[in-house]
Every structure is written in structure tokens, then in C-alpha cells.
Amino acid sequence: MARKKGTSLGLIGCGVVTACLVCCGGFGGGIWAGVTAMLKSSAPYTEAMVLVETNTTLQGELGTPIEAGTFVWGSLETSGASGNADLNWTIAGPDGSGVVYVEAHKKGGDWVYTELMAYIDSSGDIVDLLGTRMANDGEVTAHSNFVSEGQHHLREGRYDEALFSFDQALGLNDEDVDAWRGRGEAAMRTGDLDRALNDLDRAAARAPDDIETHLLLGELHTLREDWTACTESYTAALLTDPDQKFAWHGRAICFEEMGENRKALAGARQACDYELDEACEMAIRLGGKPQ
């Protein structure tokens, strides 16, 4: 969504000029190029460019592909898990040009954006990349768009990108169950089991009857070899949906690890009744017959 240029974007031009005078006047070309390369490799820059390149309003105004200019101006400060970024740079497509402005802070190791906008040179319009963005079925908020992007990255196996999208969604709405669950799954897929447990527990606390969350918790506790918590998670899923075959099978695996083969066989047979081949094989192994 675009709006006409106001005072907030009037600072961009001054920021560009000031930064160029200070940096170009005080440093040689090699150092300036090195600073630019560092800024372009930073998360605020690379993550912002993902949103710039995929924004339908900018694509319509500037054409595709949209590419960044040579230099980046502004400041970037990081210290461990905290930091601040205040950056701007030019962009251009075959049909026009503009300037991107990013203001973000690093919180707990993750970058959260307070402003991310693009100024279109030809019209003077501002595209707020953290405001509403157009989708095929109408307008969606940046929050829900980030959730959708995260879920897409999960399906494609791009877990780092999924973590970024869910981080941004939670920065805008920290009560979203889908974002907590999605970030928990992405963290689990990358092997960060502690973060996954924290996020999935938060999702379960907000939606106690969410089957998908309990199934993921069951899988996570299996990876952690916490067999008691594993059975509890799968039981929670079955209390909501007694026909959930993956919960029956998952709980059977946990029971077997606990040495409770009778319960494991019962669960495997139940899952086998729903034509889950792995469960039938488990039932045969434990009891000689799937039923």
C-alpha cells in the first residue's frame, strides 16, 4: 500500500547526503567499499530486500527485477544479541527508481523492524512494507503475510527463512499461535531443540486443543528422549481427536521406549486400524499380529 510522501521520508535525502560527505571525505575508496559490503551483508539489508523484491506494489511501479544500488548509507550497531540499524539505499527496476529506508532493532538475537518503507521517485508515493500488502484474495496485514511466508518456507524446507518470517510475525503480534508453532517447528528442524520447546509450549498454552502443536511436541520430546512428556503430548492430541493415527503411533513408540510393550502394542494396533503401515509393522514386531 502506498501513501504520499510526508515528513518522515523527507529525512532520507538528507541522510544520504550527510553520510556520503562524512564517509567519502574521511575514508579512501577501498574502506568505503568495505563498509558498503559489510552493510549489504547485514540481516536488516538482506531481509529488507526480500520484502522489496516480492512487494507487488513496487513491482507494479518499478517493474521487475528490482535491484539495489551500489551503496548503502546509515548506521549499523550490534553487540551480542542486541543492536540497532538505520539504513537507506536506492533501488531501481526497468520502469522506475526509489529509495528504501529501514529502521530496526535487534532483540534477543532477532531483528525486529519498526520502519521499513520504500519511496518511489516518480510519484512521491511511499510503500509501507510493514503495513498492508496486497494478496490475490485482498489485503492482508504484514503480520499474517509473514506467517504465510513462514509456512511456505517450512513446506519448502527453508528453515532459516522460516525463522525470519515467524520472528517478524511475532514482533507484530506475539499472541499468534500459528507463528509460535511455526517458529517452533522451524527451530526443531534446525536442531535447536530448546528454542523449539519454548515456542511450542507457548503455542500450546495459547491453544490447548491445537492438535498440530501437540503432534509437534510429541515429535520434539521423542528427539529429546523425554518419553513421559512424549506420551503426554500425544495423549493431548488424542483427547481432541481420538482418530489421530499419528498420535496413536507416536505414543506407541514412546511407550515401547519406556518398556511398556503392552501399551505400545495396543497403540500400534489402533494406528494400524487406520491403515498406517509403520504401525502395522510395529504391531507385528511386538505381538506377532497387527490386530
Same domain, 195 and 228: no
Same domain, 32 and 112: yes
Query: Nearest-CA neighbor of 162 among 127, 195, 129, 140?
Result: 195
Same domain, 130 and 150: no
Tell me the pLDDT tens digit for each residue of 246-268: 999 999 999 999 999 999 999 99
pLDDT at 24 over 60: no
pLDDT at 15 over 60: no
What's the pTM? 0.58
Tell me the pLDDT tens digit for each residue of 214-241: 999 999 999 999 999 999 999 999 999 9
Check which CATH number belongs to the domain holding 251 and give it: 1.25.40.10
- Say what the alpha-carbon torsion angle 202, 203, 208, 211 is, to the nearest 10 degrees: -140
Same domain, 223 and 252: yes
Question: H/E element holding 193?
Answer: helix 193-206
**Where does residue 239 rank: exposed (0-12), middle (13-18), buried (19+ CB within 10 A)?**
middle
Check which CATH number belongs to the domain holding 7 and give it: 3.10.450
pLDDT at 102 over 60: yes
Tell me the pLDDT tens digit for each residue of 26-81: 445 556 677 888 889 888 898 888 888 878 889 899 999 999 999 999 999 988 88
User: How high is the pLDDT of residue 128?
Assistant: 82
**Per the structure block, which three cell numbers stand in for 217?**
511436541
pLDDT at 206 over 90: yes
User: How high is the pLDDT of residue 65?
Assistant: 94
Q: Cell 523425554, residue?
A: 226
- Say what the alpha-carbon torsion angle 281, 211, 110, 141 is, to the nearest 10 degrees: 130
Same domain, 181 and 243: no
User: How high is the pLDDT of residue 147?
Assistant: 87
